[in-house]
Structures are given as C-alpha cells and as structure tokens.
Structure 1
Amino acid sequence: MSDDTYTLYMRFQTPDPGIGPREQAPMLAQEQAWARERATMHRFSWIEVLVPPLCLGPVLPGIVFLLGLLVYQGLSASGVDLDRIAGASLGWLVLATLLFMAAWILHNFLRDKRDPTKRYWQSMPDQGVVELEHHTLVSGISLWSNDYDPDCNTLMQWSNDKLKCVQDSGVSQWILAKTAAGHWLVLKEQYPGDFSYGRVGQMPAPDKLLQPQQQLAIAFAPGTNLQLGRRFDGAPMPLVDTPYWMSADELKRLEEAAHHWNFLPPNRYGVVNDQDAAWVQRLVSRAHPAGR
C-alpha cells in the first residue's frame, strides 16, 4: 500500500468536517456488528509499538556508529585505529542504543494513543449511533461481475444474528438505480460460494438476489462515509434483471464511479458524479439495449 493510498485509507475511516450534517439514528444489531468489525482494524496494539524498536533498535545505532567511523577514517584520518575506538566506545554505544530504543517505543506509544482514528473507533461502536443518508429509488437495472481475488478470498456476511466469515465466490450483483434527484446510485451485493476465474460466474438463486425497495437509508459511521448498513422501506423498486457480465475494464471503471471505498468529500457514497453519468448510461445501454 503506497503512502498516498494509506493516507487516503486512514482519512476515509476518520471523521471528516467536510461531510455535512446528517440524520442520526440508533444502530441496528447488524450495523453495530459491522462497526465492531471495522474497529478491530484500529485497536491499540503493543505488537505495533514494540516490535520495530526491539527488532531494529539494537542494530541501527551500531550501524550508524560504524558508518560514521568509516567516513571519518576516509575523509580525515586514514591511519586511525577503528578497533580501538570501537572498543573504547562500547559502553557509550550500549547506552545510546538503550536510549534510542526507549525513545522509539515512547514515540510509538504516544503516536498510537493520540491517533485520532484509533481514538474514534475505540469508542464509536459502543455509542450505538449511525448517520443516515436517504435516497428515493425510481428504477434500476441489475448487472453482474466475477472478480475473484485469491489474496482476499473471504467476505463477512450477516447470518443468524451475527457476522460470519464465508468463502467469497467473486460474484457480485451491481444495481444501478435512478434516484428521484436524478442521480445514478450504485449498490453492490457480494455472494459466497465456489469461485471461478472466468468473466462469467454462477448466478445465485433468485431468492438470494438483492431486491431493493424504493426508500433507501444508507447508514454510516458518524462523521465518515464508511457504510455500515442499508435500510430499505416502501414498495419494491422497478428493477430490470439482466444476464450481463461486466468486463474487467467495465468493472474497474464502475468501482471508481461508485464511490464505495476510499473516497473523500464532496463525493458521496454510491452516487455517480456528473462526469461519469454518461459512461454509466452507456453501460446500461449495453446491458439492456431494449431500454435505450
């Protein structure tokens, strides 16, 4: 993960003043379970505090000291006795090493204890509050993708009142819905099962498919765009089911346009920006030519 990607990842999971006020509501059980799952990635860890200083601390000062002696010898004192200087300085080197390690451990401890993201996630799940963003869905179309990742081959699913880790099939249902505000809103549903590497995967049973209702409230961790759940209400949304399986390029472009992960304001979760709306319309036309 590059520095820029890591910075974006941390900003995405930290409250952002650029996100406007939203309706607050008590968490549902599933949303609180997701909040606790997200919080596990931001726990204070003594391993992160201690391992780097204890592994690298004993050797780094010695390496720097020896390199300094070599530079000194090469620049100004070619006949200097390095063994004698190193032996005479051993006690000071040990003391410097211990001080260096202690300072490194203290720095890591204070950094993690004061980290705003860790402090936020330490208390947020127990507060039991989410923020809701409402959408009215007018109509939509269902597309499919098969994108199995062997490095990330499991997913968490809500089952029997708890989150369970299951095998990811790589198959996802994508619903492109038109909202009453005139925007495209993108919803994604992932499915467990056996995986394949082809473009076309195995569709789930009809009763397992996502069938949105017209009133949607997306639940977010307060102050962030991190989605914790979806709340549907009202009549079923008119939905066109297609057997269209997106190509890798189409999937990549849709993932970028959908703003589901690692994005910043003023982008909104699931809402396609104006500059991508024409491309989404062309994708819909390819998937359902009769609906042009």
Structure 2
Amino acid sequence: MSDDSYARYIRFQTPDPGIAPREQAPMLAQEQAWAREYACGHRFSWIAVLLPPLCFGPVLPGLAFLLGLLLYQSLFAPRLDIDQIIGASFGWLALATLLFMAAWVLRNNLRDIRDPTKRYWQSMPDQELVELERHTLESGINLWSSDYDPDCNTLMLWKNGKLEGVQDSGVSQWVVARTTAGHWLVLKEQFPGNFSYGREGEMPAPDKHLQPSQELAIAFAPGTNLSLGRRFSGAPLPLVNTLYWLSADELKRLVEIAHHWTFFPPDRYAVVNQQDAGWLQWLVDKAHASVGPLPERQTSTLV
C-alpha cells in the first residue's frame, strides 16, 4: 500500500466533520462484531512503537557521524585522521545513540497515544451505537461479477453468532436499485466457494442471493462513511434477475461510482452521483436486453 493509499485508508476510518448528522441507533450484534474487527487494525502496539528505534536507532547516529566526517575530510581537511576522532568520540557517540533511540521511542509513543483514529476505535465498539442512513427502494436489477483476487481471498461471514473467515469465490451479486428520492443505489453481496479466473463464475443457488426489501437502513461507524451492516425491512423489493456478467471495465467503473470504499463527502455510501447516472442507466439497459422484453409495469420504474 502506497503512502497515499494508506493516508486515504486512515482518513476513511476517521470521523469526518463534513458528514451530515444522522440518526443514531443501538448496535446489532453483527455490527458490533464488524466494529471490533476494524478496531483490531487500530490498536496501540508496543511493537510498532519500539521496533523502528531498536532496529535502526543503533546504526543511524554512528552512520550519520561517519558520513559527516568523510564529507568534512573530502571538502576541508584531506589529512584528517578519522579513526582517531571516532576512537576519541566513542563514549559521546554511544550516549548520543541512546538519547536518539529514547527520543524516537518517546515520539512514537506520543504519536500513537494522541492519534485520533486509534483513540476513536479504542472506545467506539464499546459505545454500542451506530448511525443510520435510510433509503426507500422502488425496484432493482441483479448484475453479476467474477473478480477473484489471490492476494485477498478470504471472506468474512456472520455465522453462528460470530464473524468467520471463509474462502472467497470472487463471485459478487450487484443489486442496482432506484430509490424514491430519484437516486441510483448500488449494493454488493459476495459469496464463498471455489474460485475461478474466468469472467463468468459459478452463480450461487437462488436461495443464497441477496433478497433486499424496500426499506433499507445502512449502519455506519459514527462520524464516518464506513458501513458496518445493512438493515432491511418492509415488503420485498421488485427485482429483475439477470444472468448478466460484468466485463472487467464495467466492473471497475461500477466499483468507482458505487462509493463503497475510500470515498469522502459529498459522496455518499452506495449512492451514485448524478454525473455517473447516465452510464449506469446504459449498463442497466444493456443488462435488461440480456433477459429480453419486460412487462411495462416492471420496466417503467427502472428508466
């Protein structure tokens, strides 16, 4: 992960004052499990505090001192006896090294203690509160993708009252829905199983598909756009089922506009911006064409 990507990752998981106030609600058990899972990545660690100073601290002061002497000898004093100076300065150099290491440890310790992201995640799961953003869905369509990543091939699923890691098949169901507010909203459901490097994977059984309802509340870690879960209620969402598999370019574009990860205000989780609505409408029409003509009542809500 590059420095820029890491900074975006940390910013995404830190409370953002640019996010508008939202409804607060008690956490569900699954949401709290996800909160604790994310909090594990932001724990204070003495290894992170001590490892750099202990590994590099004994070397850097002496190396800097030697390079300084060599530079001074080459520029100003060709006959300078470097060996004698180092021997005479060994005690002071050892003391300087110890002070350098101690200052580095202290700096790392203060940085992590005061880090706003670590402080937030240290207490957030125990507060047992989430923020909800509600949407009312009118109708939707199923699209499919197969995108197996060998470097990230584990999927966390809620099973038997806890999160368990399972093999990720790489197959995902994308529910593209229309809301009563006139927005496109994109939801993603991943499935466990055997992976395939092909563009078209093995579709899960129908009873395993995401079956959304019309009332959706997305639960967020308070003050952030990090989703901890989805809460469905109400009548089942009218859903057009297709066998349409996204191409690599279509999947990349859909991931970008769906705003599920590392996005910032004014973008909203799962809500497609107006400038991308035309492309998504084209994709929906293309998927519709793969299943043939639909009844007028069913198609009218998706245009």
TM superposition score category, shorter chain reference: over 0.9
5 Å-filtered alignment, 1:93-242, equals 93-242=93-242
Superimposed CA distance per residue, residues 17-72 of structure 1 (whole angstroms, 9 cap, x where no aligned partner):
10011000000001001101110000000110010110011101111111000100
Equivalent-residue separation in structure 1 for 2:63 and 2:287 (angstroms) = 62
In the alignment, residue 71 of structure 1 is paired with which amino acid?
Answer: L
User: 1:153 is aligned with what amino acid?
Assistant: N
In 2, distance between residues paired with 1:183 and 1:177? 8
| Residue number in structure 2 paired with 1:29 | 29
How far is the alpha carbon of 1:155 from its aligned partner? Answer: 1.1
Equivalent residue letter for 1:43: R
- Identity, % of aligned positions: 75
Q: Which amino acid aligns with 2:280?
A: V
TM-score of the aligned structures, taking structure 1 as reference length: 0.99
Question: Residues of 2 paired with 1:149 and 1:99: CA distance?
Answer: 46
**1:46 & 1:276 partners in 2: Cα distance?**
45
Distance between the aligned counterparts of 2:204 and 2:271, measured in 1? 26
1:11 maps to: 11
SS in 2 for 1:242: coil
How far apart, CA to CA, are the structure 1 residues paired with 2:94 and 2:286?
Answer: 70
Is there any run of 5+ residues in structure 2 with no aligned partner, and where? 294-298
Q: CA deviation at 1:287?
A: 1.1
* TM-score of the pair, normalised by structure 2: 0.95
SS at match of 1:139: strand
Q: Distance in 1 between matches of 2:212 and 2:189?
A: 11
List structure 1 runs of 4+ shifted beyond 3 angstroms: none
For the residue of structure 2 that corresponds to 1:10, the secondary structure is helix
Q: SS of the residue aligned with 2:232? A: strand
The Cα of 1:286 is off from its aligned counterpart by 1.2
* Cα distance between partner residues in 2 of 1:160 and 1:22: 30
Query: 1:87 — aligned with what?
Result: 87
Tell me the secondary structure at the aligned position of residue 200 of structure 1.
coil
What letter matches 1:219 in structure 2? A
Residue identity matched to 1:236: P
What secondary structure sits across from 1:158 in the alignment? Answer: strand
The alpha-carbon deviation at position 8 of structure 1 amounts to: 1.3
Matching residue's letter, 1:142: N
Map 1:65-84 to 2 at 5 A: 65-84=65-84
CA apart distance, 1:7:
1.5
**Equivalent residue for 2:276?**
276
Count of residue pairs the alignment pairs up: 292
Unaligned runs of 5+ in 1: none
* Paired amino acid for 1:156: M
Alignment of 1:251-270 (within 5 A): 251-270=251-270
Tell me if 1:56 matches 2:56: yes
* Aligned mates of 1:149, 1:216 — CA distance in 2: 29
Tell me the alpha carbon deviations over residues 86-133 of structure 1, each in whole angstroms, 9 at most, x when there is no partner.
Answer: 111111111111111100000000000100000000000000000000
Shift of residue 266 of structure 1? 0.6
Paired amino acid for 1:229: G
Question: How large is the Cα RMSD of the aligned pairs?
Answer: 0.8
What letter matches 2:238 in structure 1? Answer: P
